Structure 1
Amino acid sequence: MDARACVVLLLAAAAAARDCIELTLPPKSLLTESILNGTIFRLTARNESIERYPQVNIMNLFNRFPKVVVPRNGTNEQCRIDSQMFLDGLDNLELWALKMFDATAKPPSGILSGNGNQYGDFDECLSVDGAVQGKYCLASLQITFDKERYRELDYLIHSGHYIRSNVTDMGHRVPRYSSLLWGVCIPSSCSSFDLEEELSHSLAGLGMRVKVHNTMCTVKNPKRPYSFGKTLSITFFLAVLLLLSLGTLLDDGKEGDTNFEKLLNAFSLKRNLKKVFDLSDTPTRVKGVDAIRGVNAFALLIAHKSMAMAHNPYVNKVHFSAVFGMPWAVVGRSAILYTDSFLYLSGFLNAHNLLQDLDKKGTIDVKGRLLARWFRLFPLFLSLMLFCTYILPDVNNGPQWNLVVEEHSRVCEKTMWKSFLFIHNYFGFEEMCLTHTHQIGMDMQLYVATLPLMLVLAKSRTLGLSLIFLVAAASTVLRYLAIYWYDISMFVYYGISVQKLLDAARFSYILPTHRATIYLIGVAMAYFMRNNKLNLALSKNQVRLLWLTCLSLAAVTIVSPYRMGLEGYQYEHTPAALFSALSPILWGVFMCLTHWGICNDYAGIGTIFIESPVFKFFNKIAYGVYLTQFPIFFYNVGVQRHAEHYNPLLLVHAPEMISIFLVSILTTVTIEMPFNKVYRIYFGKSQTKLKDK
């Protein structure tokens, strides 16, 4: 019995109503003989005669598929007793048993449109508290096809294989996209293993693999063990809340005389809100940085949202894959370029600030700079880790809550110490607390490496620039070799597997040694602009040529790998390796030319856009947006109860985007700004603002 038989079963229930299709059977005597002899029939349109069709034994399939899913042979006696009580309760039409049966997912219509993920009724299952208590489990089903014979059917059932996955893949960061999720309500005394064994036994021979992860089962009001980390987290947030309350209530508008008064002023919400909405220019502001950061942050936000959406069930999930398999979707699949933009800006601003120190003092205060950067990055980073690890898991629940919220919490509890040391990006996504924060680790490591490099550059221009060139070239070679050796890709090609995405992160994407090229381009650009090496007067035609070159470089870099994003693409080493090696260089040149043109007032009418107050405001909350977007995305994935209809406008779902910006403002004025002020109060005079995130 192959997997196609299983699919026919799932479709058969809805077939008559949807397509006027019915199962036509032979006379009773022939039917009995057919069942005994294993004769195979097919679904036929009304008024058509029976045809022998040697592929699907529908009658056997109907008999084999479990009508009621309950672990009758559970590993513990109480599970077996409760399972029998459930079956007896169904016979007697007891309400609690009917609710358990009703809460379990049933074969739907629209499976060939991608409606294969069925959550059942999560809340109804947890409400069962009769003779037994309900436990909700989300099982993962993997259907195996003969892909040569049933290629199109395989494509539809697995929603287009936008991302190829299997039931054993890590699912908390990258979704198990092509696995089917099936909600089952069982007695709370039964384990995930009991359910997995029951489903595996019932579906044996149907071409299906079943996995029920223990973490994907939920009961009402679960008992959680005492956690010192949770106590510490609550204490931390209560302390911050106390300081915010005192600072706001006692703020009389005057500057404090003592350090304690200044500390309270630092936590004044009135002052911080006023500062965050103050859009006047600062002396240290570098022209164009706000706009470049804002545009790239929005592009990256949309790319991240598309990945989070792949966790969700849709009644038309095949359409989801089709949309992201269109040529224009290359704009989102090239998301690595937008992270490269941040590396360029970080390299530029770090070098710019360090060169200022060298001009003023002749040296770099390494200790002061590292401490300032620690206060810039760590307090908000720590707050987010504590909240997502110890607070967020208790806030809500849902079918995938344990996967996308609690699993992150479990990983963070074990590996958070790596993030404290800013080395978490060396251990792969599987063992990383809050995987989207890998950029913070890379950025800190590259910043530390920039300190001695600036000292060398200040003493010897030739040696410093030679080092920059050699390290950038070595990084380019490393990227090429990593892609070629490990069969991975920095471009999210159509049909990429979850494991290849994780390998790409581990062996290249999250390593500063492989991402240093564009960072160093930013460092070199800061040096040349700071030393007036690029002061050129351009004619109108030359300005037009400048922007035409910029647009051409951007278009070529983004669009060149578009073929990899089309349906049916087969992975090739050389194109993937070349894109990985050359795209940071091309994108870096584009960033340099664009930035130089803006700084030299060659933007023309575009200056209105570049100098928009929106970008100035966004720059103040950008770090908050970067940190909080994924927790909000995953919160919404975790609480979603039912499949919805996909359309591309969900990429910019207004309530979600508003939530991200409001939470970012909140975290900026309550954590980031106060702790930056604490640094200035207790560790030195007013410091130059570090705008390197």
Structure 2
Amino acid sequence: MLSAAIFLIACSATAAFDPKTFNTTLLNHEVLQRLTPILNSNRTLTDKDYALLNRTIQNLGVDKDLVAKWTDLVRRNGTVPKDAVTKVVDDVKSSTYDAYGDEIGNRDGSVRHVEESPDYASSVVLASDLLSLTSAVASVKETACREHGYKFLDGLIMNKRWALKMFDASAKSPQGLLFGSSYHLGNFDECVAIEDPGYNGVTIEGQYCLATIKWRQKHETNKTRTGRGETLRWAVCVPSACHAKSVASFVSSVLAHTVSNTTGVEVTERDCYTRRPLAITPLDVGYLSLILLFITILFFATLYETYTIYYGSKKESIISTLIISFSMINNMKKIISTKQHNSLGLECISGIKALAMIFIIAGHACMFIASGPVMDADAWDRLVRQPVNAFMLNNTLLVDTFLMLSAFLFSRLMLVELEKRRGKLNVIPILIFRYIRVTPAYLVVILFYMTWLPKMGEGPLWQDRLLLEQERCMSSWWTNILYINNYVNADKMCMFQSWYLSVDTQLFFIAPIFIYSLWRWRIFGPVLLSVAILISLVVPAFITYQDKLDPTLLFYAKEFTDIISNFYFNEAYVKTHMKMIIYFMGILTGYVLHRIQTENYQFSYVLKTFAWIISLVLGTVTTFSVTIFYQEWYQYSALEAAAYISLHKLAWGICNGWLIIACATGNGGIIGKLLTWKFLAPFSRLTFCAYLVNGIVELYYVGELRHPLHITFFTVMANAISHIVLTFFLALFLCLTFESPLHGIEKILLRMFARPVLSDNARKDISAESSRNTSQSKLDS
């Protein structure tokens, strides 16, 4: 093959010879083997061949004496026309060829084009690049990959557009490495679009690989938690015949010529991507069939409700109600309704849920943005040190708010039912139907992770993130639906946010013991709950002190590239015994409000003022104190960490407890008006579905990202707002298709088998007057 011969002649000359010492044993045997067919052909090279060879020799900077020495060696090792060799040497001495011109000169002075882009290689393929690439390709042990590598190098010299694209799509000399830029992503789309018939009918396709380069640390004990200095993600575009190990070997060889052997290179199969026909599994087909079945049911149920609105009677039956519960018209009305018929004064719960979820999504967006490809890794470290940005770091407190609201609602509404039924309340159906209500929509999202989500996009980090998530869901999905994934297979957790449901469910199942005790025994009940609160304070503090853990979940960017593998997240943050305090505070808040409303207690002005001051102080301190642990001057103290882990949750529980009580009793003031704003009601109904689908938005964002992001407060907030909008849009779809219809079925079944219903919203009985200070109104039944 002529192009291979031309390239290998030049490369063998530069790789095998030294201007001062000449040793024939250094000549690559494989080079001679590849040259043999050409040398034995006894053919005469054309003017075009001479020009290309001349150009290559000039670009590589080969010494003219080396060419002469090489000529003698070739004459001894193979057959080649003497006039051709002489002409090559003469061409080296000739000055008629301009290595950086646009066209190739001929003997007669005329010009003609060579390939599509004749001089692009001269500008981007430097001699040092070719030398390192040649050596790296030769060191690849995999035969198919090595042969395709040689074809790639041949294509570079002959200015083949596919080869130039493959080189162009790879990352070059790093920019901003000292600035903290650790992601050099090349051009993903240019690489994977490469497809060339190649030689002898062998098609060469582009494969994008993102290698992980680890710099060797001289002082392992002095590692810092900030920045991204230990690793570098480096994109290379290689032929699709190369497997991950070959790519790692190739990158290592290239680096050996530039930065010596002081680095380690890792490339897994997930790090490499090439376009392939979509592979469909039976599980994919089954899931798609399930979705289409639901959509069909929704369509006909919507048609049925449309018919009943215009032509049908208003007579209701169980069958009719069941069908309409699937109607999109009915469900959309329920979601977007701003009416809140709540006689217990719990309208503020909707506002708290909506605002908390909005800021939780923003926090998740910040975490994925900061831990993903960024230009300046230190920018995030500067942001987290500023107290004004503390709200970005308080996802943990906002999640605790949801746990507290769950406990509060269960406590408050169960106490109402115990009063109404004089303690004769069957809790078992409530627990069963709670599982039935939560699990189906949850399972639909899990199955989406396992089937179609990894097939719905592509990008530099797509396989690294999405395939990893799919593998975890395939192995641990059963722990999710049993709500034990925060203890079982926690290192393979499916859906990073799913731990919350497990914690909430586990505590939900033990909560009736404490709630019934509070109703049944006026002394023993509060004492039992107080002991539980005390234990829930001591346990996290003891574990934190003993294991020298962080005081809370600290969002250092390089520690959250994969949040599931974060030590603190996996070993402490997701555990139920580390979250009990805030849940018990919710139960206590429900009990206190029940007593206040039952006894029609009125707060004095002094008491209200004092409570608001204490609440605002505690809320401010718990919100902004977290920035202390990010400061460069902070020295870790196990005692401080142990005190903080428990006391800041207790303080947050007191702050939220008073906020709920104040709003429910009409003492919320401006804050109460904000939290009861009707505009927030629709968003509060979407919070559960938003919680389920938010991970899809975050993973899709980081998987599709083509270029590193420059982090500033504005760019982070702008992206966070877009993530909020996308999350609630997907939540609306999930709620309309699964969550709301199944909720409607649950209510029908509860009315049939477990009256009265325990629901999140206590509705006013038709015959009862609305009152914030009494519990005379009844729950929806």
Task: Check whether the contact 1:288–1:595 (CA below 8 A) recurs between aligned residues.
Answer: yes
TM-score (norm 1): 0.82
Residue aligning to 1:379: 440
687 and 363 in structure 1: CA distance in 2 versus 1, 3 angstrom threshold: closer
Cα 1:334–1:283 change in 2 (3 A) is closer
Aligned to 1:16: none
Q: Which amino acid aligns with 1:661?
A: F
Deviations along 1:193-221, one digit per CA (max 9) or x if unpaired, are 11112223443545322211221111102
Amino acid at match of 1:246: F
Could you tell me which residue of structure 1 aligns to residue 210 of structure 2? 138
Deviation at 1:497, TM superposition (A): 6.6
1:265 paired to 2:317: no
Tell me the CA shift for residue 568 of structure 1: 5.7
Does residue 230 in structure 1 map to residue 230 in structure 2? no
Residue 91 of structure 1 is aligned with which of 137, 140, 157? 157
1:255–1:262 contact (8 Å) kept in structure 2:
no
Structure 2 partner of 1:367: 428
Distance 2:506 2:459 in 1: 38
The 3 A distance-change label for structure 1 pair 605 and 330 is closer
CA contact (8 A) 2:156 2:163 kept: yes
Q: For the Cα contact (< 8 Å) 2:365–2:723, is it kept in 1?
A: no
Amino acid aligned to 1:504: Y
Q: Distance in 1 between matches of 2:517 and 2:533?
A: 16
| Residue 296 (structure 1) aligns with | 356
What residue is the counterpart of 2:779 in the other structure?
none
Contact map agreement 2:371 2:558 (CA 8 A) in 1: no
Counterpart position of 2:264: 209
**8 Å CA contact 2:169, 2:188 repeated in 1:** yes
Spell out, residue by residue over 1:155-211, the C-alpha distance to the aligned partner (whole angstroms, 9 max, x if none): 8xxxxx5366xxxxxxxxxxxx96321111111111111111222344354532221
Counterpart of 2:82 in structure 1 is: none
Secondary structure of the residue aligned to 1:138 is strand
SS at match of 1:233: helix
Q: Which residue number corresponds to residue 242 of structure 1?
A: 296
Aligned to 2:578: 514
Question: Is the Cα–Cα contact under 8 Å of residues 300 and 338 in structure 1 kept in the other structure?
Answer: yes
Aligned partners of 1:68 and 1:566: how far apart in 2? 48
Alpha-carbon offset, residue 223 of structure 1: 5.8
The answer on whether the counterparts of 1:196 and 1:211 sit within 8 Å (CA) in structure 2 is yes
SS in 2 for 1:308: helix
Residues 79, 591 of structure 1: alpha-carbon distance in 2 compared, 3 angstrom cutoff: same
Return the offset for 1:569: 4.2
Task: Tell me the equivalent position of 2:23.
Answer: none
How far, CA to CA, are the matches of 1:514 and 1:186 in structure 2? 48
Q: Deviations over 1:2-33 (max 9, x none)?
A: xxxxxxxxxxxxxxxxxxxxxxxxxxxxxxxx
1:182 counterpart residue number? 234
Contact 1:113 1:319 in 2 (8 A): no
Q: In 1, Cα distance between the equivalents of 2:254 and 2:167?
A: 17
Q: Which residue in the other structure is 1:579 paired with?
A: 644
Match of 2:183 in 1: 117
Cα distance in 2 between the residues matched to 1:595 and 1:197:
61
1:526-584: per-residue Cα shift (whole Å, max 9, x none)? 11221238855344454333222111011122233422122464433222221112111
| CA distance in 2 between partners of 1:529 and 1:290 (Å) | 17
- The letter for the 1-side match of 2:475 is K
Does the C-alpha gap of structure 1 residues 510 and 163 become closer, same or farther in structure 2, counting only changes over 3 Å? farther
Question: In structure 2, how many angstroms separate the alpha carbons of the residues matched to 1:617 and 1:458?
Answer: 33
Instruction: Tell whether 2:389 aligns with 1:329.
Output: yes
Instruction: Tell me whether 315-324 or 89-98 shows the greater mean CA deviation.
Output: 315-324
Q: Which shows bigger deviation, 281-290 or 432-441?
A: 281-290
Amino acid of the structure 2 residue aligned with 1:242: T
In structure 2, what is the equivalent of residue 690 of structure 1?
759
- The CA distance in 2 between the partners of 1:68 and 1:332, in whole Å, is 49
TM-score by length of 2: 0.73
Rate the CA distance shift 1:435–1:494 in 2: closer, same or farther, 3 A.
closer
- CA drift of 1:222 comes to 5.1
SS in 1 for 2:214: strand
Q: Secondary structure at the match of 2:211?
A: strand
Summarize the alignment of residues 147-158 of structure 1 with structure 2, pairs less than 5 Å apart.
Answer: none
How does 1:258-657 map onto structure 2 within 5 Å? 259-283=318-342, 286-361=346-421, 362-427=423-488, 429-493=490-554, 498=559, 502-532=566-596, 536-567=601-632, 569-649=634-714, 650-653=716-719, 654-657=721-724
| Aligned residues between the structures | 611
How far apart are the structure 2 equivalents of 1:331 and 1:235?
Answer: 43
Gaps of 5+ in 2: 1-127, 199-203, 762-781
Larger mean CA deviation between 474-483 and 235-244 belongs to 474-483
Matches within 5 A, 1:158-169: 161-162=225-226
Superposed displacement of residue 682, structure 1: 4.0
Structure 1 pair 668/689, CA: closer, same or farther in 2 (3 Å)? farther
Amino acid at match of 1:339: V
Over 3 Å counting, the alpha-carbon distance change for 1:607 and 1:223 in structure 2 is closer
Q: 1:457 to 1:543 in 2, by over 3 A?
A: closer
Which of the two has higher C-alpha Rg? 2
1:344 partner letter: M
Q: How does 1:18-37 map to 2 (within 5 A)?
A: none
CA contact 1:494–1:569 (8 Å) conserved in 2 = no
Within 1, Cα distance between the matches of 2:160 and 2:599? 82
Asked if structure 2 preserves the Cα contact closer than 8 Å seen for 1:302 and 1:652, the reply is no
**Do 1:680 and 1:687's aligned partners in 2 also have CA atoms closer than 8 Å?**
no
319-328 or 94-103, which deviates more:
319-328
Match of 1:7 in 2: none
Q: Given residue 688 of structure 1, which amino acid in structure 2 is its aligned partner?
A: V
Which segment drifts farther, 664-673 or 363-372?
A: 363-372
Larger mean CA deviation between 494-503 and 357-366 belongs to: 494-503
Could you list the per-position Cα deviations for residues 343-366 of structure 1 after superposition, in whole angstroms to 9, with x for gaps in the alignment? 111111111122122122222322
Which letter does structure 2 place at the counterpart of 1:587? W
Matched residue of 1:198: which SS?
helix
2:148 is equivalent to residue 82 of structure 1: yes
1:221 alignment counterpart: 276
Measure, in 2, the Cα distance between the counterparts of 1:475 and 1:618. Answer: 32
Cα distance in 2 between the residues matched to 1:65 and 1:71: 10
For 1:434 and 1:359, locate their aligned partners in 2 and report how far apart those are by CA, in whole Å.
Answer: 40
CA spacing shift, 1:607–1:630, aligned 2, 3 Å: same
Shift, 1:63, TM fit: 8.8
Q: CA deviation at 1:628?
A: 1.4
Q: Per-residue deviation at 1:663?
A: 1.4
